[in-house]
Structure 1
Amino acid sequence: MSARGKKQHSSRRTQRNRGVIGLVLAALSIIVLLLFVIRFAYIAGSGHVGQVDLTKKTQKKYRFDQVIKARRGTIYDANGNAVAEDSNVYTLYAVLDKNQVSTAGRPLYVKDKAKTATVLSKYLKISATEITKTLNQNQFQVEFGAAGRNLSLEIKQKITDEKLPGINFTETPSRLYPNGTFASHIVGLAQLKTTVDQTNQQSTQQLKGLMGVEQYFNKQLTGVNGRQVAKLNNYGYELPDSKRVVKKAEDGSDVYLTLDSRLQSYLEQLLQDVQDKYDPTELSAILMNAKTGAIIAASQRPTFNAATKSGLETQWRDSLVEDAYEPGSVFKVLLLAAAIDSGKYNPNATYRSGSVTINGSTIRDWNQVGWGTIPFSQVIPRSSNTGAVHIEQALGETLWKEYLNRFRVGQKTGITLPNEASGSIQIKTPLDRAITSFGQAVNVSAVQMMSFLSAIANQGEMLQPRIVSKVVSNQGKVTKYDKKVLGTPISADTAKQVIAAMRQVVEADYGTGQQYKIDGYDQQIAVKTGTAQIASSKGGYLTGSNDYIYSVAGIAPADDPEYILYVTAKQPDITKADAISILSEIFNPLMKRALNYRTTSADTDANSIKMSKLTGLASAAAVKKAKDQGLTVTQVGNGSKIVQQLPAAGEKVIAKQRVVLLTEGAMTMPNVVGWSKNDVLKLAEITGGDFKFSGDGYVTSQSLKAGAVITAGQQIVIKLAEP
């Protein structure tokens, strides 16, 4: 082939190769394009790139989703005073980074550390020196530990008003317990718990009840959070043609207790006095309406301050409901009721006291030697163990078991509080049955004892103890917790005879409860005393000279019972006073005050005024409203809202009578010089302070100066003199 032919052939081959390459590249381009089209179609159709949901990602980018928090319901006392309500607490922090300035150049950091420390020390429980040390740290921002947390709105506002650069707050939902130590285990406690909404993966902090009414009614109190949803652009403005969706929050229901703040606060003061003086390991008291089963006042020691949480580490259990123990001789009233009701009781028959032997075991009277041969009518007044055994033997196994069942011994009362103990009873052998007659080999709770005693005080009808009167939803629906009869274990006539025997405990010269007489209420107090051994965890009973649970159960007025009061003290220091004297320091003043309130409320005065409800109002508005009624007003505390009042709303008062109003926050001492003792007692009730009186008449001096903070455990001495 010539050179020219070779060159033409090479040229054609090159063109052909270029064509092939072009076709391959075109094919590859078409394939890649098709892959892109398919991929795009898939993404557009499915909305996913790998594991990423583009739809959700886009929605999240432009979606504004906010939880609208529901208000937790308020817990009120019987007079409509709030004892637990929603609030917010604040945590203080300081910005130290000097790069933090506003667009106008204003510093958003702590500029003058010395001044800031001096000002903050006025409001925080920390020195200016410590604050300065914290402000000198090399950090973006700092907090101030416990001193800077859980601040009230009042303190937060005062600090804000100081206009300190770089000082800011974070807000946290909280629960306000304005009365501090106030039936703390019964009202209970609610604390923050973090929950995650699975719909939008948002976490929310919500209060949850951990004990008492807060726990038992947690579902009703909690409510349902709402939500607000909108679409926003990159600048935070709502997108055109988008629709804002709002689902309103449903606030929680309000719970109304049967507790009367006047008597509850007084009981707290009495219990604390006895606790401080005699140091029992446990102490409790319950005051109940004998006709309805409504618990008017109840508390225990150890306890805690719900506002400060002080003492919470000592005792979490509500011992009135959750703890079962051997009640001792107070239980003899059930034995007597069973014997009378069954016709097996002859008060005039006699027996030999001192000791009795059952299956080789000797049971002795509490004084070891007895009182010789005495009638059965003296078994209850003398609290004779041997007499109780003889009565149980006369009843017989079948009848005694029947009446124990009628009284629902070993069964829960159904009170609306969590973790109620059912108690127990051991009656398999003759010895077991014998010792149950005086309250051993049987375990009961304090609320069960109230139920048993109600059958005696309420003409044979046994009532369920009640702590809640009603629950009111945010829509106004009312669920009532009315009087409930659990059974009729005995007749009305039997109940009357048992009360007559309990009267002899107080009135007979051989009665064990003569110290429970109350001035002004002669022949109106019926009681039964009790002394029970304490079961050992190793079996048997503790053997120390003071290893006992002392108790007293009382009913008054005896002719028409209105109140039942049950007080117990475990292992008090009886070297300072005998057990009956110790218990009388709680029983006598509380029962007397309850009876006095009953008498006062029964009186009518043409010149009386119906006390307005001032709780919940702004402080200034409440003071003005009371003064407009012609009343003398004293405000305790510098808070912005009234949380408690005395006299209570609805009570009858007279012109110029003193009204004591308590605000949230710190309780401050007013100037009480010139006050009557009765007015100071109102102050003691509403604050729960430890007031000690010297003399009679009107106040001449006070140990705590006006304006000072009333703190827990602080004793305030009030001197009085006749004008």
Structure 2
Amino acid sequence: MNKQSKQRFSKSRLRMNRQVFGVLILVITLVVFCVFVYRFCVISGGYVDAHNLKKSRLTQETRTSVLQAQRGSIVDANGNTIATASKTYSIYAVIRPLYSGDKEKLVTDKERTATELAKYLPLAKDKILVYLNPTSKKTKQVEFGSAGSGLSLAIKQQISKLKLPGIHFTSESSRLYEDDIFASHVIGQTTVKGTGDDATIVGTMGLEKYFNSLLSGKNGHTSSQVDNYGYQLSTSKAQTVAAKNGGTVYTTINSNLQNYLESLMSNVQTEYDPKEMTAVLMNAKTGAIIAASQRPTFSLQTGDGISDMWRDALVQDAYEPGSVMKIMTLSAAINSGHYNPNEYYQSGSIQVGDTTLYDWNRSGWGTIPLSEAFTRSSNVGMVKLEEDMGSSTWHHYLKKFGFGKKTGVTLPSENPGTLSFSNSTTQATTAYGQGVNVTVMQMLQAMSAVSNNGVMLKPRIISKTVAANGTVTKYGKQTEGRIIKSSTAKDVRKAMVQVVQSDIGTGGAYKMDGVDVGVKTGTAQIAGNNGYLTGASNYIFSVAGMVPSKNPKYLLYITMKQPQNYTKSAEEMMAEIFKPLITRALALDAASDDAANTTTTEDTTSAKMVAVTNKSTSAAQSELTNAGYNVATVGTGSKVVQQLPVAGQTALNGSRVLLLTNGAMTMPDVSGWSKSDVLKLAQITGKKFKLKGSGYASAQSIKAGALIPDTGGTITFTAQ
């Protein structure tokens, strides 16, 4: 090939290579272009690698805030509030800028700030100054410990009016109870779970727990799109799902009788120092619980005392009831046709199998008719009735009366109790209330068959609930059917009258002039590690009463365990609750609305507490004294900033009212104060107090008129 041919070939090959390369570049360009177009289409559709871009964008730019649902209320039989939703406040002070360029107002005049805050917080001025001058130079804001938390709206508003620079508040959801001690274990307790927007109030005891779902409601929320600075975008619209507030629980409790019962219980507890007590007043025709209390108890508002008794003794504690069970034994014997009142038996003791069972009076009363067994509370007589009935018949009636199973009352953690029937001895002892463990509610249910002419009633504490959407659920009268004949019930009630009226009866302490009263007393042994406890006070004493006995409206059941100050008979101790409470209940029935607040022969009238907060100390003292109250003042200030009982709360005539004034707190003279009064002092001051001994306060570790220290520790009172 000549040189010219070679040159032409080279040029041709070069041209071909360029064409191939050009085509290749074109193909690659088209492929890349197609990929970009496809990718653009996918992104335009809002997805990348199966990831929803639109959803991501909204998530990044959407701010959601919780709308807290308001917890519903618990009210009494007349619709008066017992528990309701509230807020408490905590105070803090900003003393240095929180960040560079912060224009937040700071505390500028610490001296004035401390002086003013001391008027409303349970802290002295010098203590507040210590908080406002922390040792660390890095501290930018300070709080004031427990004294600066849990503040009421009234106190918060008073401080806010001062417009103190650098003083701020945070709020927390809380629960407000109208009375400090008011069927505390029945109403229950709440706690706050979570923090900030996620904080919710949850019931942990009593009705607050049982109806927690209804009371809680449902939180709502607000969602809006915001920019990087948190401002809502002008092109967006906030989306709101409204909160659904909680419903309302209507109880059967009569506040007048409940508050009076609490007062009577506190007096007996202070005087005789029993380890435990319960008392329940029930409508004998409907099963509605009118008043219910126990000791130890606790403050609904502060929780003080809850560590002494976590359980609701009315439904959670099972115990041997003792001789009050004889109401059911006599009922079963009469109803089954195995009661011959004119049959005689030898009292004192009886042999059952290998065991000798005794009367409470071991020597007995000689040979007596069965008609006297119930009146004298003879254990041997009841064993004789059980033997005449036969164990299977007696066991049948025990189950009919509801022992060994829950009543279904609307309170959490109800104990079903136990029924021991394994041998002849336990079968016999159940006839006088041993070998069977019951609850207060089970006893009330069983005794209602006698008070309600043979038809047994379920005890109930709730009349109805109203959900947030308006749905009403009624808890009306519920019966468990006819347990005994009407004639049987009437015969048993006549026997209960003899317990009070007869010279041989055990219930003479419950006799009331002009009142038709029938009762059965009880004295139950307490099981220990090595058999039953011994000693005069190591018993559970009890009484069950039906008034008026001919056609009962009220069924009152009281138990008292191991009184430490055994200065009177157990019957006399419990009568100090029984007789005044029955007197008031009957008076409320008979009196007009105006006379309903004047209820006992002991001049124990009650009325709604007047408001004296923000009044001058002298004017408040004069007004309360003229109204018949016993006034105690904490502090030497000229203005009242807090009061206990609070305005609107029912208070008995002659009861003690505590006033907290502005200025430093000084100790009042507590001589003659009851334990409940000391608890009021602890509540209003925020200090820890301890009452040593039983009875009324007679000495105090800090003299009257002296400043109450701000430091920790417990202030001690001695009682005798």
- How far off is 1:286 after superposition? 0.3
Equivalent pairs, count: 648
Q: Deviation at 1:291? A: 0.7
**Contact persistence 1:283–1:569 (CA under 8 A):** yes
1:252 Cα shift? 1.6
| Per-residue CA distance 1:48-104 (angstroms, 9 max, x = gap) | 589x8643442134324232222221110011111110111112111122467999x
User: Displacement, 1:673?
Assistant: 4.0
Q: 1:277 to 1:25 in 2, by over 3 A?
A: farther
Structure 2 Cα separation of the partners of residues 666 and 397 of structure 1: 69
The correspondence for 1:525, drawn from 508, 517, 531, is 517
Question: Larger deviation: 228-237 or 163-172?
Answer: 228-237
User: For the structure 1 residues 355 and 609, does the alpha-carbon distance in structure 2 shift closer, same or farther, using more than 3 Å as the test?
Assistant: closer
Q: Distance in 2 between matches of 1:284 and 1:86?
A: 29
In structure 1, C-alpha distance between the alignment counterparts of 2:98 and 2:472, rounded to whole Å: 57
- What is the rounded CA distance, in whole Å, between the counterparts of 1:316 and 1:33 in structure 2? 76
How far did 1:227 drift? 2.6
The one-letter code matched in structure 1 to 2:73 is T
- Using the alignment, how far apart are the partners of 2:610 and 2:255 within structure 1? 12
Deviation at 1:716, TM superposition (A): 11
State whether residues 611 and 647 of structure 2, in contact with CA within 8 Å, keep that contact through their aligned partners in structure 1.
no
> 1:668-718 CA distances to partner (integer Å, 9 max, x unpaired)?
87734455699xxxx89975779768xxxxxxxx8978989976356899x
Alpha-carbon distance between aligned partners in 2 of 1:685 and 1:594, rounded to the nearest angstrom: 25
> Following superposition of structure 1 onto structure 2, how do residues 621-660 of structure 1 map, counting pairs within 5 Å?
660=608
Look up the match of 2:299: 305
- Tell me, yes or no, if the aligned pair for 1:262 and 1:686 is still in contact at 8 Å: no
After superposition, the CA RMSD in angstroms is 4.0
8 Å Cα contact 1:684-1:691 kept in structure 2: no
Structure 1 residues 230 and 13, CA gap change in structure 2 (3 angstroms) = same
The change in CA–CA distance for 1:43 and 1:664 in structure 2 (over 3 A counts) is farther
Deviation of 1:435 after TM superposition, in Å, equals 0.3
2:608/2:647 contact within 8 Å kept: no
In structure 1, C-alpha distance between the alignment counterparts of 2:621 and 2:385, rounded to whole Å? 57
Alignment-derived partner of residue 343 in structure 1: 337
* Alpha-carbon distance in 1 for matches of 2:80, 2:296: 25
Aligned to 2:541: 550
Aligned equivalent of 1:291, options 282, 285, 300 = 285
Equivalent residue, structure 2, for 1:142: 142
1:378 alignment counterpart: 372
Deviations 1:487-509 (A, max 9, x none): 21111111111011111111111
CA distance in 1, matches of 2:181, 2:422: 43
Q: Does the CA-based 8 Å contact 2:66-2:197 persist in structure 1?
A: no
* Cα distance change on mapping 1:338 and 1:473 into 2, 3 Å: same
CA contact (8 A) 2:376 2:499 kept: yes
* 8 Å contact kept, 2:189–2:203: yes
Contact 1:671 1:706 in 2 (8 A): no
Answer whether contact 1:406 1:487 (CA < 8 A) is retained.
no
Relative to structure 1, is the Cα distance of residues 573 and 99 closer, same or farther in structure 2, using a 3 angstrom cutoff?
Answer: closer
TM-score normalised by structure 1 residue count: 0.80
User: Are 2:487 and 1:535 aligned?
Assistant: no
Which residue of the partner structure matches residue 707 of structure 2? none
Q: Distance in 2 between matches of 1:399 and 1:277?
A: 44
- Residues 283, 553 of structure 2: 8 Å contact kept: yes
Whether the 8 Å CA contact 1:690–1:716 is kept in 2: the answer is: no
Query: Distance between the aligned counterparts of 1:677 and 1:500, measured in 2?
Result: 43
- Secondary structure (helix, strand or coil) at the match of 1:281 reads strand
Moved more, 240-249 or 126-135: 240-249
Retained in 2: the 8 A contact 1:647–1:659? Answer: no
Cα distance in 2, alignment partners of residues 341 and 665 from structure 1? 61
- Conservation of the 8 A alpha-carbon contact between 2:537 and 2:566: no
Aligned residue type for 1:164:
L
Quote the residue 2:560 is aligned against. 569
| Paired-residue identity, % | 44
Other structure's SS at 2:199 match: strand
Aligned to 2:430: 436
Distance 1:226 1:385, change over 3 A: same
Cα distance in 2, alignment partners of residues 121 and 17 from structure 1: 97
Distance in 1, matches of 2:139 and 2:17, equals 71
SS in 2 for 1:437: helix
Report if the CA contact (8 A) 1:389-1:437 is conserved. yes
* Structure 2 gap ranges (5+): 1-11, 600-604, 631-644, 663-667, 669-676, 682-695, 699-720
Amino acid at match of 2:255: S
Deviates more, 1:458-467 or 1:24-33: 24-33
Aligned equivalents of 1:581 and 1:707: distance in 2?
41
Moved more, 329-338 or 395-404: 395-404
Query: Does 282-291 or 568-577 show the bigger shift?
Result: 568-577
Q: Does 1:361 align with 2:361?
A: no
- Name the aligned partner's letter for residue 94 of structure 1: A
* Structure 1 range deviating more: 234-243 or 245-254: 234-243
Provide closer, same or farther for how the CA distance between residues 352 and 334 of structure 1 changes in structure 2, counting only shifts above 3 A: same
Task: Report the equivalent of 2:218.
Answer: 224
Structure 1 residue aligned with 2:54 = 55
- Aligned equivalents of 1:226, 1:28: Cα separation in 2: 56
Q: What letter matches 2:91 in structure 1?
A: L
Work out whether 1:165 is the aligned partner of 2:157: no
Q: Equivalent residue of 1:549, what SS?
A: strand
Does 1:596 find its partner at 2:597? no
The farther-off stretch of 139-148 and 368-377 is 139-148
Query: Does the residue aligned with 2:262 lie in a helix, a strand or coil?
Result: helix
Pair 1:406-2:373 in alignment: no
Q: CA deviation at 1:244?
A: 3.5
Offset of residue 190 of structure 1? 2.1
- Letter of the 1:260 counterpart: N
Aligned residue number for residue 120 of structure 1: 117
What is the alpha-carbon distance in structure 1 between the residues aligned to residue 517 and residue 294 of structure 2?
A: 23
- Gaps in structure 1 of 5+ consecutive residues: 1-11, 196-201, 602-607, 612-645, 649-656, 694-701, 718-723
Q: 1:539 to 1:426 in 2, by over 3 A?
A: farther
Rounded Cα–Cα distance in structure 1 between residues aligned with 2:476 and 2:500:
33
Displacement of 1:391 in angstroms is 0.9
Tell me, yes or no, if the aligned pair for 2:658 and 2:680 is still in contact at 8 Å.
Answer: no
How far off is 1:560 after superposition? 1.5
Q: What is the CA–CA distance in structure 2 between the aligned matches of 1:318 and 1:142, rounded to whole Å?
A: 40
Question: Structure 2-normalised TM-score?
Answer: 0.80
The CA deviation at 1:578 is 1.9
* Residues in 2 aligned to 1:342 and 1:486: alpha-carbon distance in whole angstroms: 19
CA–CA distance in 1 between the matches of 2:186 and 2:94?
42
Q: Please give the secondary structure, in 2, of the residue aligned with 1:571.
A: strand
Matched, 1:185 2:185: yes
Measure the CA separation in 2 of the matches of 1:37 and 1:194: 50
Is 1:94 aligned to 2:88, yes or no?
no
The structure 1 residue matched to 2:107, chosen from 99, 104, 110, is: 110
Distance 2:234 2:24 in 1: 49
What secondary structure is seen at the aligned counterpart in 1 of 2:89? strand
In the alignment, residue 608 of structure 2 is paired with which amino acid?
V
- In structure 2, distance between residues paired with 1:157 and 1:21: 85
Shift of 1:180: 1.2
Task: Name the stretch that deviates more: 547-556 or 566-575.
Answer: 566-575
Alignment partner for residue 583 of structure 1, among 562, 574, 595?
Answer: 574
Contact kept, 8 Å, 2:323 with 2:521, in 1: the verdict is: yes
Relative distance call for 1:502 and 1:32 in structure 2 (3 A) is: same
Q: 1:116 deviation in Å?
A: 1.5
Preserved contact between residue 691 and residue 716 of structure 1 (Cα < 8 Å): no
Q: CA separation of 1:610/1:55 partners in 2, compared to 1, >3 Å: closer, same or farther?
A: farther
Q: Superposed, which structure 2 residues align to 1:193-342 within 5 Å?
A: 193-194=193-194, 204-234=198-228, 238-240=232-234, 242-342=236-336
2:706 is the alignment partner of 1:712: no
SS of equivalent to 1:394? helix
